[in-house]
Amino acid sequence: MIDSETGREVSARLSKIEGQIKGVRRMVEEGRYCVDILHQISAIQAALNRVAQRAMKRHLESCVAEAFQSKDKRERGKKVEELMEMFSRFGK
């Protein structure tokens, strides 16, 4: 689970990203150059990646660490599957 410290940080980052999205929408409405719009979108994607990494780190430190300490082989296996699925989802 996401603890309150990580939660506050992630939440603040998401608010900032919301503002960036609004900014891109404005750029589109003002008819700005496509390449400038694309650069802005790529900056938002990088910011979202940082959010994902923050959440992932917390996930590893808490849920995964706990599951791996469990004696239940099946539970450990499930966490590995979950991580692999995430790895391929965020991977190239």
Is residue 85 classed as helix, strand or coil in its secondary structure? Answer: helix
Residue with tokens 């692999």: 84
Residue pair 9/54 in contact (Cβ under 8 Å)? The answer is: yes
Residue pair 22/59 in contact (Cβ under 8 Å)? The answer is: no
78 sits near a copy of itself (criterion: CB under 8 A)? no
Residue from 45, 72, 74, 75 in contact with a copy of itself (CB under 8 A): 45
List of residues contacting a copy of itself (CB under 8 A): 1-2, 7, 10-11, 14-15, 17-18, 21-22, 24-25, 28-29, 31-35, 37-39, 41-42, 44-45, 48-49, 51-53, 55-65, 68-69, 76, 80, 82-84, 86-92
